[in-house]
Amino acid sequence: MKLPHHSSALFTASLALFFFVVTAADPDLLQDVCVADLASGIKVNGFTCKSNFSADDFFFNGLAKSGLTNNTLGSRVTGANVQSIPGLNTLGVSLARIDYAPGGLNPPHTHPRATEIVFVLEGQLDVGFITTGNVLVSKSIKKGEIFVFPKGLVHFQKNNGKVPAAVIAAFNSQFPGTQSIAAALFAASPPVPDNVLTKAFQVGTKEVEKIKSRLAPKK
């Protein structure tokens, strides 16, 4: 089919926009390496580069062992991002390990800067994400299987099994960022006003205060 001139221009423009949108992740690098100088006082988009680096800036052994899951939620995220591996600065990727006790939950959260792909190391998990149209996309996954959480969408993982579970998660960002929904709304500092939360959730101040007290950071 031959497209009229204006629609082919529109098609080209949409294609360009599509590729811009789908490739918009961390910016591309302009040199071989830019090992993060985490101590620098200079703030840029990412971190400034160290003048000197070694192999250890590209190394991390923190995902070898399972993280402690003896906390309220029964889960632990161990990041392997630019904060623990300075060499990842400007490279646009990172990993994490997440451990789950039986019954453990990695509560609903988003990563504003990355898509996440998880590989199950052990156990099984009920996982899901919610689209901007409020459709829940969920599945049970087990050892050796993979699931994807699209960039920016709210998602969670729950271990409904009787044994511990663990995953390795990969991200297309050196530092994907995590915003936990419950903590963002009910444990922010300074606090989100009660009258915002009572209206948003259609409940009373007592219910809001109760959730706030449960989620308050432990002193």
Ligand X SMILES: *[C@@H]1O[C@H](CO)[C@@H](O)[C@H](O)[C@H]1NC(C)=O
| Residues near 87 by beta carbon (within 8 Å), at least 6 away in sequence | 33, 35, 36, 53, 57, 58
Q: Annotation-wise, does 106 bind a ligand?
A: yes
The residue (of 51 and 61) whose beta carbon lies closer to ligand X is 51
Residue 184 binds ligand X (CB under 6 A): no
Place of tokens 């423009």: 13
Other CB atoms within 10 A of residue 159 CB: 25
Q: Which of 23, 31, 70, 213 binds ligand X (CB under 6 A)?
A: 70
The residue (of 72 and 131) whose beta carbon lies closer to ligand X is 72
Q: Which stretch binds ligand X (CB under 6 A): 39-47, 67-75, 99-107, 154-162?
A: 67-75
The residue (of 96 and 101) whose beta carbon lies closer to ligand X is 101
Residue 79's H or E segment, with its range, is strand 75-80
∠ CA(124), CA(155), CA(189), 5° rounding? Answer: 125
> Which residues does residue 151 pair with via DSSP β-bridges, in sequence order?
none
Three-state SS at 134: coil
Q: Which of 12, 14, 71, 195 binds ligand X (CB under 6 A)?
A: 71
Residue 52 binds ligand X (CB under 6 A): yes
> Which residues does residue 72 pair with via DSSP β-bridges, in sequence order?
none
Q: Annotation-wise, does 5 bind a ligand?
A: no
Spatial distance between the Cα atoms of 132 and 152, rounded to a whole number of angstroms: 10
The least CB distance from residue 24 to ligand X, in Å, is: 36
The least CB distance from residue 59 to ligand X, in Å, is: 15
Q: Which of 38, 68, 181, 200 binds ligand X (CB under 6 A)?
A: 68
∠ CA(62), CA(28), CA(20), 5° rounding? Answer: 120
Spatial distance between the Cα atoms of 214 and 96, rounded to a whole number of angstroms: 27
Q: Annotation-wise, does 89 bind a ligand?
A: no
Residue 219 binds ligand X (CB under 6 A): no
| Binding positions | 106, 109, 111, 116, 155
| Binding positions for Mn(2+) | 109, 111, 116, 155
Residues that bind ligand X (CB under 6 A): 51-52, 68, 70-71
| Binding positions for oxalate | 106, 111, 116
